[in-house]
Structure 1
Amino acid sequence: MQVIATQHPEVLLLRPRVFGDARGFFLESYNRKAFAGLGIDAEFVQDNHSRSAKNVLRGLHYQIRQPQGKLVRVVAGEVFDVAVDLRRSSPHFGRIATMRLSADTHEMAWIPVGFAHGFLVLSEHAEFLYKTTDYYAPEFERSLLWSDPALNIAWPLDGEPLLSAKDQAALPLTECEVFV
C-alpha cells in the first residue's frame, strides 16, 4: 500500500497494489495489520454503500458524538472528496484536504475522527463505499456548509450541486459545533 500526502498531514490517500491480467484485477482493500503499520489502527464497525448521480454533493457531514473515522473508496465512477479538520485543539483546525477518487485508480482515503467529510460526484454516477469506526447516530449528525467562504473549497462544479434538505440547511464553520 502506497501512502500519498494530502493537504492535511492526517488525511491520507492510499494506493493499493493492484494485480491485473486479461481476466480482470485483484486488490486487497483492507488488512488490519497492514493499515496499523501505516498508523491507521482502527476498528471498523459499519460499512456503507451509496450511489449518486452527477453533481450530487453529499456533505460535509460529521457526528459530534460517536465521531467516525472513515476509510472511503469509489467502486464505480469518480468523485471529488473533501475532509475538513473540526478539532479546535488541532494546529490544523479548519484546514481542508481534497482529492479525486475513482474506480479506475482504486485509491482510498483515510478520514480520521474529528473531521467533516463530503464528496461531489463528477461522473454520470458514482458508487461510494465507506467503512466507519462508529455507528451512524442521526441525533449526533451535523452538516458543515459545503460552500462556506472561510473554507475556500474549489469544488469542480458546473452550476449548482444537487443537495439534500439537510445539506441545504448546513451551517458555516463559525456557527458549527466542533470538537474540543
Structure 2
Amino acid sequence: MGRTIKFLILCILLLFAFPLAAFESNHVATMDIQVIIYEDGSMGIIQNWEGSFKEGTEIYIPMNEPDYLTISNLKVSDQNGIYETIPYWNIDWSFEEKTRKCGINYTDNGYEICFGISQYGQNRYTIEYKLDNVVGGYSDRDGVNFRFVNDQSWLPPIPITTCFITI
C-alpha cells in the first residue's frame, strides 16, 4: 500500500512539473496576421503577437525562402513604442544591445527577422514588413506559395486568431 501511494504522489508531481517548465520559456498566446497583396506582386504583412517572454535576448522569424523574395520596410513595435531598425543584426549582442532594436540576420538558408525582447513578461509586438516578388506568374494562373509561420521556428503551435488577405 505504501509503495502505491508513493508511486501516485510521484506521478502527480511529474504531471505538474512538465507544464510548469513549459511556462518558464517564451510563449506566444495569439497571433493576428494581416496581408495586403499589391498589384506589383509584393505583399505588405502585419503580424500582431501577444504572449509571455521570460528568457533569451531576441525573437526571430526564420524566412527560409528562395532568393527571389526580398524583404523591405521592416518595422517592429511593442506596447512602449517603435523600435530602431538597424541594417545588420548581430545574434551575439547582449540583451541591452538588442533592446528596442530590430533587423535582418542573413543565414545560409535565407534570413531571419530579429528583434530584441526588450523587457521580460507579458508583451505585445507588431511586426510589419514588405515582401517583394511573392506573387508568381505562371502559364495558366498567378499564385502565392508563402508560409507565414515557419515550421523551423522556435514558436510552439499557436492559435492564429485572424488572418486577413486583401487584394
**What is the TM-score when the length of structure 1 is the normalising length?**
0.34
User: More helix by proportion, 1 or 2?
Assistant: 2
User: More strand by proportion, 1 or 2?
Assistant: 2
Q: Which has the larger radius of gyration?
A: 2
